[in-house]
Amino acid sequence: MRKVILALESTCDETAAAIIDEDGKVCASAVAGQEELHQEFQGVVPEIAARAHLERIVPIIDLTIRKAGIEIDQIVAIAVATQPGLPGSLLVGLCAAKGLCLAWNKPLVAVNHIHAHIYACGLGKPTSIFPCLGFVVSGGHTHLYRCESFADWKLLGGTIDDAAGEAFDKVAVMLGIPFPGGPRLAKLAESGNEKAYAFPRPLLDDPSRLEFSFSGLKTAVRYHLVGKGKQDFTQLKLDEQQRADVAASFQRAVIDCLVGKAVAAIRQTKLQRICIGGGVAANRLFRELLAQRIESIGGEVIFAPPELCTDNAVMGALAWEKVRIQQFDSLDLDVTPGLVRG
């Protein structure tokens, strides 16, 4: 009888479940997004997100199990992302996982959402991705890690303000692009001139620092569009080419920062492999430019598959590493919303 785990994901605004076997094969996966619920507010509202998870978590679990065509006896553990994320959203997933553990007499496995994004880079590969430089670039996180194994992580540097994906979404709002704006801004940028406007590259000129900062870049775009001290973008008068040029120039500034710091981290750590996950890792230009730079210095680049860059439960396959060594968690476990530094 094939053994599987049931993995749950509810760290932000995607409610997801997946069934994964011990060879890493995905038997079934389902994701329910919440874009329509948050568009009015131009960003994720934590309370709305948590309530939506409550409504969707059981149907998503049921759908996933039915799609996989497995019996409950085949499930050897329930995995759930418990850190980092929105407190209410995390609690919904953890409570659902605990309930299933009690009802089905299964062990609980806690998964670190950040680690899982990097682990997704190795799914389906014949050899381990470790050791590597882990780079998570998403709406909530922009962080570099030294990853010696699935359980040995060291934070090298991260954003000191906005994450890269957050900056994408906020600039998209300035340009009148509906939430979630990041992917749509990247699409608009394809028809723009990335050299049209000289936006800043914060912290890029100091390779000794592996921190990121995108708040000042975002502010520079705002000043360019409406001037200092102004917040009203409703009267903004830009033609489509000007909007595309702003989008392209902003995007290139962000990507230059990401690529520059990744190269600096490779040089500092002497690691030859970098694994990249998170929503921004699906950005086409970022993938192209980072691969070119890392390969030019003799490094290896592994991106998570595009379908596994945004939040999903398949990356909960990381839990199999803990199942194999019988490293289970107590049902007294609580969530850890903030970013874990190790």
Query: pLDDT tens across 49-105, in order?
Result: 999 999 999 999 999 999 999 999 999 999 999 999 999 999 999 999 999 999 999
pTM comes to 0.93
Q: Within 13 A of 164's CA, how many CA atoms are on the CB side?
A: 33
Q: What is the share, in percent, of the chain residues with pLDDT greater than 90? A: 88
Helical segments of 39-123, H only: 46-68, 87-104, 113-119
Q: Which domains does the chain have, with CATH numbers?
A: 4-120+311-324 (3.30.420.40), 127-304 (3.30.420.40)
Place of tokens 């396959």: 317
* Mean pLDDT computed over 256-275: 97
| DSSP-assigned beta bridge partners for residue 17 | 8, 30
Sequence-separated (6 or more) residues with CB below 8 Å from residue 133: 144, 145, 146, 147, 156, 262, 265, 266, 269, 271, 273, 274, 275
pLDDT in tens, 157-189: 999 999 999 999 999 999 999 888 999 999 999
